[in-house]
Each structure stands twice: as structure tokens, then as C-alpha cells.
Structure 1
Amino acid sequence: MKLSKRTAALILLPVLSASAGMMAFSAPAQAAEICGQYDKSTVGTYMVQNNLWNPAGEQCINTTAAGFEVTKADGQVAFNGPPKGYPSMVNGCHYKECSPGTKLPARVSSINSAPTSVSYGYTADGVYNASYDIWLDPTPKTDGVHALEIMIWANKVGPINPIGSPSGTATVAGTTWDVWEQRDGGHKVISFVAPSAMSNLSFDVKDFVKQANDRGFGDPSWYLTSVQAGFEPWQGGAGLKVNSFTSEVN
């Protein structure tokens, strides 16, 4: 994305896209290792991005038939700051590049359902989270940092926490999550942290959007611009896998 994540404990440091305009990203569908800071590939109809936006060393990912694996993850950054990056799979548009055939951006009120699922593979090495990102904006924006980020932390390993402060719990998609909120800065962030490691998630994106709206984060007139599933590593991370990812917008 030329950068996108930033959740850790400070603010997001945006990186500008080199693209001249919005485009649907397409690349060879076969398995491929990518190591460039913002290199991308495709798996099916999804964009896969290395997204090493806060580098501390080299990072590489290898695409698979249905996901990707982090094959190299050098270096470490401070655990009370932002992560090294966000290797991830994307349905939607990110820094002017869009996954093939996506229906996003789309106004939330026009979406009947947005079912999604992700299967994660973990490693004992490193300090990281497994996170699912939902991005929204008052406009059908395809570039830059959008106004609202909803994060779902399926797992966290090591002394890390979401940006902002804890604000209680919420039950969404059959799980009671710890909620963290960040209302200041360049964009607002609300994070839902699982009570214990979850390897598989399946839910309707609209359920988390509604919970965020009910807490004063955005409203149904805003646009869903992308959904993304991957990892934020602070230290190490080789061996982390997205085994599979699906996302629909109906």
C-alpha cells in the first residue's frame, strides 16, 4: 500500500503512492516470493502486499494457492511503537491500487452483507499480532490514510497492545472482545482484541462496522474501502501464514 498499518501504539506514518491514479492491480497468479518494500502480487481475486512500511530489515512473503507465508522477517522495532509492516491480503483499494474485480469502495448502507473468513497459521518465533483490518471513509476514497480503521486482533504474541486506551468489552460475532479506542490523530482506530488466540475467523464485516458506529466511530453513510487480513510483526515473524482468505460484498 505504500503503507497502511499502524496500529501499534503510536500513530500511522503515511507513505505516498507512486501511482499516477487509481488502478486495479493485477499480477501473475502463480506462486511468487516478493521481497520489495511495497511489492504486490495476486492470489485469485485478492491483492497480496508485502507492505514493509516501517522496516527494520528485509521481509519476504511467498504466495500460496489460497494465501501467503512470511518467509523472511529480519529486525525488531520498539514494542511500544508501530510495527515493522503489515503483510496482508486485500479486497478493495489501497493507496490507489485495487484488487481485481473488487466491489469496493461501497457505501455501508448499500451493503446487505459482507461475509468474510480467514485462517491463520502461527509461529512461536517473534512478537506480532494477527489482525484483520476494516477501512472506512466519508468519501469513496482510494488513496492515502482513511478516516476510520477497525482492527480485529485474532492473536497477539509478546508485550504489544493496540493504539489508544482500553474501553471495555463488546460481544460481536459470538466472541467477547476487549475494545481499545483511539479518537485522536490522523485517523480514528477501534480495535477488538480476542481473549485468546483464534486461528480461524468467520463473520460479517457489517457486524463490526455497526459496533463501531454505535460507539461513535463513523456512520452507515460512510464507505467501506477495503478489508485486509494479515500480520503486524514487531520482531521476527518468519513462518506466519494466512492459509486462506475470503471476502464478499453483497
Structure 2
Amino acid sequence: MFSKLFSVLLAFTAVSVLSTPLQKRGAVLTAQFATEEEAGGRFILENNLWGEASADSGSQSSQVTATNGNTLTWKTTYNWVDANLDLREGLGKELSAISSIPTTWTWSYTNPSSDLVADVSYDLWLSGSSSGTGASSTSTFEIMVWLSSRGGAGPAGSQIGTANVGGVTWNLFQGTVATWTVFSFVAQSEITNFNADLLPFFTFLSANHGLSTSQFLVQAQAGTEPFEGSATLSTAAYSISIN
């Protein structure tokens, strides 16, 4: 869950590799939980300064640097927590009514410090109500897909086995945060060019761990959790849809 406080310096810099004309850049967000809609309201970028009041010092700014249809790039520079990119369309559907969740995420680290402890993850939230929200009292499940786990970073709970999803073997963790159950699929080796369907992760949990397909998908995020060290994380392209 993207809600921990860290004292680190990590720059999240997006580099466009798109060949068609790009729309204008978004505003630079600096205030706590400042948001801006992007791609015609399809996404919302949040400057997530969770836990700011308890920090000794620090700052953060976030900005979408380019959009091209449903594909965009963004950057965040900070010395604490993270920024989340939130999908705003296609939510509030029962899992049984979803046919696919295609996504692409191409990213890389530049000059990561030797002590870097961080993850790069999707964060998907379920609720028993179509009007529920993620990380709230209405949340029932949090499903995370970790594309990267550096320096011993680990998810909530403990490992309960492995799962083969999309032709990749993942370490599967289960835990509890607040009132909801967290399932985390952690890649055994780093995936920097991810082009896949996220729905099979839910299908696996339904078939093997009793996840009801009557649950509603209410939030779909992507971001990074830095724990220690420094690096530049560059995103070349990111897109996601709920069909």
C-alpha cells in the first residue's frame, strides 16, 4: 500500500518515447494531496504527502510531463513517500463484469544507490460496494503487483506460496492492513517492460484463495515506494484500461 513515510531522496523522472504529437504538460503540484486531472479526466495525478506532519523535513513535487491519448508520462521529485497515478474511468464494476485490464509500464532506474530499498508496483483496490474507495473503511481487498523489489523491500504479511500468472512466476504474500486483506504478487526478477492483462491476477485469487467475483474494483493506482537510498526512476510510457 502506498502509505508509508520514508526519509530518502528519489527522483521520479518521466522520459517520453512517443512519436506522435504530445499534449501540453501539467501543472507542477507541490501542496499536500494536490491533484490534477489528466488525459481528459481519464487519470488523476496526486501529490501524495501522506504522513507529512510526522516528518522532520522534506518536500515533494509531481508533474505529468506528456500525454498522448491514453498513454502518459509523469515525474515526481521528493525526499519522502511517493506519487500515485490514479485511473478514473471504468471503475465501480464487479470483477465478474470485467473482461480485461490491459496495461503497459516501461520504466528504468538511473544511478540507483547501493543501499536502495524500494518497490515499483500496481495497487488495485476492491470493495463490497460500487461506491467504495481505496484505503478506507469501505475497502475489502488490496491487490498489489510488484514489478520490482530492491534491497529487501517486502509487502505486508508473509509469503503463502507462488503463483504463475501471465506466464510469470510470482511470490505471493498475504497480510492485513487496517481492516482489509492484502494480496501481493512479487516478481522473482525485476520487470522493467510490463505489457500484460491484470485481470488474471484476480482470476487466480478467485480460483485459489476464495476471492469473490462479486467484489467491485474501485481504484487502480501505480507508483513507487522508496524506503532507503536514492535513484532516478524514469517512466517511458504508462497506460491502463478497464474493459
Same fold (TM over 0.5): yes
Gaps of 5+ in 2: 6-22, 67-71
Partner of 1:138 in structure 2? 128
Partner Cα separation in structure 2 for residue 87 and residue 54 of structure 1 = 13
Partner of 2:156 in structure 1? 163
Question: TM-score if structure 1 supplies the norm length?
Answer: 0.75
Contact 1:113-1:249 within 8 A present in 2 as well: yes
Aligned match for 1:49, one of 46, 50, 53: 46
Classify 1:60/1:7 alpha carbon distance in 2 versus 1 (closer, same or farther; 3 Å).
Answer: closer
Aligned match for 1:40, one of 35, 44, 47: 35
Partner Cα separation in structure 2 for residue 238 and residue 118 of structure 1 = 18
Partner Cα separation in structure 1 for residue 215 and residue 24 of structure 2 = 32
Classify 1:238/1:142 alpha carbon distance in 2 versus 1 (closer, same or farther; 3 Å).
Answer: farther
Return the offset for 1:203.
Answer: 1.8
Classify 1:7/1:53 alpha carbon distance in 2 versus 1 (closer, same or farther; 3 Å).
Answer: closer
Return the offset for 1:235.
Answer: 3.0
Partner Cα separation in structure 2 for residue 89 and residue 184 of structure 1 = 21
Could you tell me the percent identity over the aligned residues?
29
Gaps of 5+ in 1: 9-27, 76-83, 92-98
Aligned length: 209
Return the offset for 1:68.
Answer: 1.1
In angstroms, what is the RMSD of aligned CA positions? 2.4
Aligned match for 1:208, one of 201, 206, 221: 201
Return the offset for 1:175.
Answer: 0.6
In the alignment, structure 1 residue 186 sits paired with structure 2 residue 173: no
Counterpart amino acid of residue 165 in structure 2: V
Higher relative contact order (CA 8 A, sep 6+): 2
Contact 2:60-2:76 within 8 A present in 1 as well: yes
More strand by share: 2
Question: TM-score if structure 2 supplies the norm length?
Answer: 0.77
Please give the residue correspondences for 1:48-87 in structure 2 after superposition, counting only pairs within 5 Å.
48-55=45-52, 56=55, 57-65=58-66, 66-71=72-77, 73-75=78-80, 84=81, 86-87=82-83
Return the offset for 1:70.
Answer: 2.1
